[in-house]
């Protein structure tokens, strides 16, 4: 019961911030422009600073050298989910105009705006490298295969855009992670005043992420959520298939228990908030994507405490 209460408390911390972001949007303090600014501040300023501070101060060179081989778990998990998504889309007779979006949402997770705050609330800063490893895999897959699939739903033929994809993969959070790793490996210690400033900036990551989700949920409109077979299919992929596949991959693996727990939780996060943006860019059904993001985010509040209790039994 202690684990369950701890999990509920961690989720409650996050929900309160999401609710505040939602309410401030409802009364007109936050707008679509605010959402864009917060997203940029979090992903391009706060999160990179957070990475530099946490990696450079809390981890050793030996610990970091062991991380890269762990990429195989999220990569293999998402490959299996992609194959499963094709079969599920056919089984549910997902309409052609939504098929690529459905498949992309089925196997990609919201690893930053939801995954990072959840893992930080439940496990603390020690979980950050594992969050980043999953983030690297998830981001790479989304901005290559995921975007390609969403393009296919639009009016123009889908094609890979490698230069744009590489720019998204080597994003500021990943570069912040790399800088932190370099500082540890050299080794170099930043001056105290620089670390203090980076810490202040990095502390914006969690509340900023939650405000962003609250704004996005208000903009999508909770009353617009309709339970249909496509939404149920995406939920099954996010909250049932994804954690089961990841559990099967890591359960017996000789890796740290926290890594197993983080990977399972990251695999079961809601749909990426980038999905509606990409859908709008390529003429796919952005409204459907936004509603699915909102619905799966709400569902995650019920799933995460249950998963947290389950992963405690991993060894």
Query: What confidence tens digit (pLDDT) does each residue in 170-220 have?
Result: 778 888 888 988 898 888 888 999 999 999 999 998 888 889 888 888 888
DSSP assignment string, 71-121: GHHHHHHHHHHHHHHHHHHHHTT--GGGHHHHHHHHH---TTTTHHHHHHH
| Domains of the chain and any CATH numbers | 2-311 (1.20.1530.20)
Residue 66 above 90 pLDDT? no
Which has the higher per-residue pLDDT, 265 or 120? 265
Write down the pLDDT at residue 157: 65
Write down the pLDDT at residue 43: 85
Which residue, among 95, 45, 19, has the nearest Cα to 288 in the 3D structure?
95
For residues 282 and 224, is the Cβ–Cβ distance under 8 A? no
Query: What confidence tens digit (pLDDT) does each residue in 262-292 have?
Result: 999 999 999 988 888 888 878 888 888 888 9
For residues 47 and 173, is the Cβ–Cβ distance under 8 A? yes
Write down the pLDDT at residue 165: 61
- Rounded-to-integer distance, Cα 47 and Cα 201, Å: 8
Query: What confidence tens digit (pLDDT) does each residue in 128-146 have?
Result: 888 888 988 888 888 888 8
């Amino acid at each position: 019961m202690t684990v369950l209460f701890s999990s509920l408390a961690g989720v409650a911390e996050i929900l309160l911030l999401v609710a505040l972001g939602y309410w401030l949007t409802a009364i007109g303090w936050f707008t679509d422009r605010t959402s864009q600014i917060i997203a940029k501040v979090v992903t391009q300023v706060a999160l990179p600073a957070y990475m530099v501070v946490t990696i450079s101060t809390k981890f050793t060179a030996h610990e970091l050298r062991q991380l890269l081989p762990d990429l195989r778990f999220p990569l293999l998990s998402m490959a299996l989910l992609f194959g499963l998504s094709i079969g599920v889309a056919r089984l549910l007779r997902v309409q052609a105009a939504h098929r690529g979006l459905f498949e992309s949402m089925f196997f990609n997770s919201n690893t930053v705006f939801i995954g990072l705050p959840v893992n930080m609330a439940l496990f603390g800063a020690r979980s950050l490298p594992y969050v980043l490893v999953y983030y690297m895999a998830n981001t790479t897959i989304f901005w290559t295969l995921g975007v390609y699939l969403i393009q296919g739903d639009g009016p123009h033929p889908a094609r890979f855009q490698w230069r744009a994809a590489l720019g998204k993969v080597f994003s500021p959070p990943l570069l912040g992670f790399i800088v932190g790793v370099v500082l540890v490996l050299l080794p170099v210690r930043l001056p105290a005043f620089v670390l203090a400033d980076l810490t202040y900036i990095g502390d914006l990551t969690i509340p900023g992420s939650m405000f962003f989700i609250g704004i996005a949920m208000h903009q999508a409109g909770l009353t617009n959520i309709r339970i249909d077979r496509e939404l149920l299919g995406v939920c099954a992929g996010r909250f049932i298939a994804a954690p089961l596949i990841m559990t099967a991959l890591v359960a017996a693996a000789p890796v740290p228990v926290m890594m197993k727990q983080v990977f399972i939780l990251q695999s079961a996060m809601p749909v990426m908030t980038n999905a509606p943006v990409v859908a709008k860019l390529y003429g796919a059904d952005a409204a459907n994507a936004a509603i699915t993001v909102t619905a799966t985010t709400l569902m995650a509040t019920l799933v995460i405490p249950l998963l947290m209790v389950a992963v405690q039994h991993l060894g």
